[in-house]
Structure 1
C-alpha cells in the first residue's frame, strides 16, 4: 500500500471515528433523557396517545379519535398535577409540556376539521395553518413567560390550545346535529378564535375552569361514543 493511499484511509477513519464524535461530558452538555422526571414521562405518554388519536382522525374515525384525544387531555393534566405534588416543576418540564401540547391539542383539532368539517382543501389549508401558527406562537410565549399572576390568581396569557381544540370539537357536533351548520361556518369561527391565543386576554387557571373543561370533555366523549354506537 502506498503512503498516499494509507494517509487517505487514515483520514477517512478519523472522520468516522465514533468515539471522537461523542459530545464530551461538560456543563454545556444537556443529558436530555437523564433530566426527564416522572411528570415528563407522563407527558410522553400523552404524546403517544395524542398521536394515536391523530391516526384515528386520519383514517376517518372521528368519534374514536375524539375519545382517544380526551385520554391524551387527561394525561396532560395528570403530568402537571404530578409535577406540582412531587415538587419537580421546572422551566424544562414546561418546555416538554408545550411540545406535547402540539400533538395532544393542535394536531387532532386540525385533523378533525380536515376530515369531518372542511368543505374544501383550501378551507382545510387555511384553518390548519391558523391553528398551528397561532397555537404554536401561544405555546412558545407560555414556555418563555409562564403563568401570569393577578392578585394571587394564576392566568394564561391569551386563550389556550385547549379552548381552541374544544371549539373545533363543538363545531363537529354542531355540524352533526344542526342542519344549517356547516364547514364554512365552523372554519370562520375557528379562524377568528385562533388569534385570541396570542391576545392579552387573561384565561384564569382555577379549579372551576378545570372542572368545566372536564365536564365538556365528558359530555363530548359521551356524544362521540353515542354517535359511534348508533344511539343518536
Structure 2
C-alpha cells in the first residue's frame, strides 16, 4: 500500500465519529450473568459435561464419552425440574437450555457416528451435517413456536434432539452386538431420522415418555460400561 493511499485510509477512518461505535444508553442491554438462575447454572454444568463427552469421543473413548453424555442428559432434565419447582422458567432460560442442547445431544451424537460408526469420511460429513442442521432448526422452531397442546397434554412439534441422539446411540450398540449391522446401515437410519425433527409429528411430553427415556439411558449406560470394561 502506497504512502498516499495509507494516509487516505487513515483520514477516512478518523472521520468516523467515535460516538457511532459506542453505546451510550445501556438501559436496554442485558446483564447476562445477573439473569442466570439456579436452573441456568445446572444447564451450564450440563454444557461442561457435554464438552467433556466431546473430548472423550475425540480421544477415541466412545463408551466413556457416552457415559459423560448421559450425565449431561441427567443434568438437562434436572434444570427443567429445578426451573419448574422454583418458578424460574423464562424465555431467557429456555434460550439457554436450547443452546446447551446443541452440545449435550447434537455434537456428541454427530461425533459418535464419526468416531465409531462412519464407514467413510463422506458418510460422516453428510450424517453429521444432517444431525446438526435439522437439530439446530428444530431447536430454533421450538424457541419460536413453543409447545403445542392436545387435550391438555403438551407436545413437541417434531421429534426432539433427544430422540435423534438415542437413534445414534442405538445404532452404536447394534453395530457392536449385531453382526450384520454396519456403518452404512447406521448412516441411512440416522439420516432418515433427522428430518423428523422438523416434521409435524407430535412428540407428547408425558411422565411415561420421560420414564421410557430414563430406562433407555440406564440400559445404554449398562452396555457402555460392559463394553468399556470388557464385560460384554
Q: TM-score, normalised by structure 2?
A: 0.90
Q: CA RMSD in A?
A: 1.8
Question: 1:227 and 1:24 mapped to 2: Cα distance?
Answer: 58
Q: How does 1:7-86 map to 2 (within 5 A)?
A: 23-24=23-24, 26-86=26-86
Question: 1:25 and 1:166 mapped to 2: Cα distance?
Answer: 47
Q: Against the structure 1 CA distance between its residues 162 and 91, is the aligned structure 2 distance closer, same or farther, given a 3 Å change threshold?
A: same
Q: How does 1:193-204 map to 2 (within 5 A)?
A: 193-204=193-204
Q: Against the structure 1 CA distance between its residues 111 and 50, is the aligned structure 2 distance closer, same or farther, given a 3 Å change threshold?
A: same
Question: 2:97 and 2:219 mapped to 1: Cα distance?
Answer: 25
Shift of 1:48: 0.3
Matched residue, 2:158: 158
Matched residue, 2:8: none
> Does 1:210 pair with 2:207?
no
Q: Kindly indicate whether the alpha-carbon contact (under 8 Å) linking 1:23 and 1:29 is maintained by their aligned counterparts in 2.
A: no
Shift of 1:130: 0.1
Shift of 1:116: 0.2
Shift of 1:26: 3.4
| Runs of 5+ unmatched residues, structure 1 | 1-7
Matched residue, 2:6: none
Matched residue, 2:142: 142
Q: TM-score, normalised by structure 1?
A: 0.90
Matched residue, 1:103: 103
Q: How does 1:164-179 map to 2 (within 5 A)?
A: 164-179=164-179
> Does 1:187 pair with 2:187?
yes
Matched residue, 1:4: none
Shift of 1:209: 0.3
* Partner SS state of residue 26, structure 2: coil
Q: Kindly indicate whether the alpha-carbon contact (under 8 Å) linking 1:135 and 1:161 is maintained by their aligned counterparts in 2.
A: yes
Shift of 1:27: 3.1
Question: 1:168 and 1:220 mapped to 2: Cα distance?
Answer: 12
Shift of 1:28: 1.3
Where do 4+ consecutive residues of structure 1 move more than 4 Å?
Answer: 20-25
Question: 1:194 and 1:228 mapped to 2: Cα distance?
Answer: 28
Shift of 1:105: 0.1
